[in-house]
Amino acid sequence: MKVFKFGGASVKDATAVKNMSSINQKNQASPLVVIVSAMAKTTNALENLLALTMAEEDTTGAFIQLKAFHSGIVKELAIDHDEELDKFLNQTYEDLQNHLSKFSSSLGYDYIYDQTVSTGELLSTKIIATYLNHNQIPTSWLDARKVVKTDMVHRAARVDWGATQNFIRSHVSQLKDQGIVISQGFIGSNAKFDTTTLGREGSDFTGAIFATALSAESLTIWKDVPGELNADPKKFADTKKYDQLPYKEAAEMTYYGASVIHPKTIKPLAQKDIPLYVKSFE
């Protein structure tokens, strides 16, 4: 069993989705779990949609943009005639609108935030799963909210490790013989089955949660940078490249602010001795 994680940049458009699909196809042999973020800057777009809603400004344009961005990718992937996908997308947009309409209710900002931003990962994973299935790469779509269980905190929920590990193991063991299992990074659910999120950029951590629960052979984070880097390549020109890092060094690196891997990712992997690879997407 291997776990792959693809971030927003790795699924930023149809070309990227095709590229990540062929990476997955090449690795189909070993049971494979694939964790995916929202496409490109979708989470930011959803935060913006919520901000407009809170300010009681017109959200029509932002909504149209969100839909057009995803339907453009769906069209380019030639899966725009898939009825099930179409139904799912429409339902997801409808749910989003319903959540946004409750912005001034007693449910609170953080609750609405999680119901809003989680939309990005639901859209991306369903689109990608549909594309893979249309291209003879059998894939099951797993709703991360069924397995990643958290406390009641919104926007920075803490994982209930016991329940989460049990749910991941049982769901993945049922699905893994039918092909790739694809699920969402960043999102989970609490005891009331309300959607929660693990904090911005939390999909790496989800990858580690799945890898740990499944005692995976390895976790591979596919990035738009060459190999593992010891600093943020956007800030430093002379970053060094590693293919595999000792945990301690990786933990220190993320601790000291290199924005390559989410800081919470390392610890659970280290505890189970699961190798972490950071591989270049290109």
Q: CB under 5 to 8 A by kind: which of Mg ion, ligand ASP, none does 263 bind?
A: none
| CB-based contact 182:132 (threshold 8 Å) | yes
| CB-based contact 260:225 (threshold 8 Å) | yes
Q: CB under 5 to 8 A by kind: which of Mg ion, ligand ASP, none does 202 bind?
A: ligand ASP
In the bound state, the residue with its beta carbon closest to ligand ASP is 203
Least Å from the CB of residue 263 to Mg ion = 15
Using the minimum distance from each CB to Mg ion, give the nearer residue, 82 or 204. Answer: 204
Contacts (CB under 5 A) with Mg ion, residues 19-58? 37
Residue 196 within binding range of Mg ion, rule CB under 5 A = no
Using the minimum distance from each CB to ligand ASP, give the nearer residue, 31 or 34. Answer: 34
Least Å from the CB of residue 232 to Mg ion = 16
Using the minimum distance from each CB to Mg ion, give the nearer residue, 8 or 263. Answer: 8
Residue 263 within binding range of Mg ion, rule CB under 5 A = no
Least Å from the CB of residue 139 to ligand ASP = 20
How does DSSP assign 124-179, residue by residue? HHHHHHHHHHHTT--EEEE-GGGT-BB-S-SSSPPB-HHHHHHHHHHHHHHHGGGS
Q: Which helix (H) or strand (E) holds 186?
A: none
Q: CB under 5 to 8 A by kind: which of Mg ion, ligand ASP, none does 31 bind?
A: none
Least Å from the CB of residue 118 to Mg ion = 12
Q: Is 244 helix (H, G, I), strand (E, B) or coil?
A: strand
Least Å from the CB of residue 113 to ligand ASP = 12
Q: 66-75 long-range contacts, Cβ below 8 Å, gap at least 24?
A: 66/42, 67/93, 69/39, 69/40, 69/42, 69/45, 70/39, 70/123, 70/127, 72/14, 73/13, 73/14, 73/17, 73/39, 73/127, 74/127
* Separation of alpha carbons 20 and 163, rounded Å: 30
Least Å from the CB of residue 78 to ligand ASP = 25
Contacts (CB under 5 A) with Mg ion, residues 133-172? none
Residue 8 within binding range of Mg ion, rule CB under 5 A = yes
Q: Using CA atoms in the order 71, 77, 80, 84, what is the torsion angle rounded to 10 degrees?
A: -100
Least Å from the CB of residue 7 to ligand ASP = 5
Using the minimum distance from each CB to ligand ASP, give the nearer residue, 82 or 201. Answer: 201
Using the minimum distance from each CB to ligand ASP, give the nearer residue, 10 or 133. Answer: 10
Using the minimum distance from each CB to ligand ASP, give the nearer residue, 31 or 120. Answer: 120
* Separation of alpha carbons 228 and 235, rounded Å: 15
**Chain centroid offset of residue 45 CA:** 16
Contact residues: ligand ASP, CB under 6 A: 7-8, 37-38, 43, 120, 185-186, 200-203
Interface positions with Mg ion (CB under 5 A): 8, 37
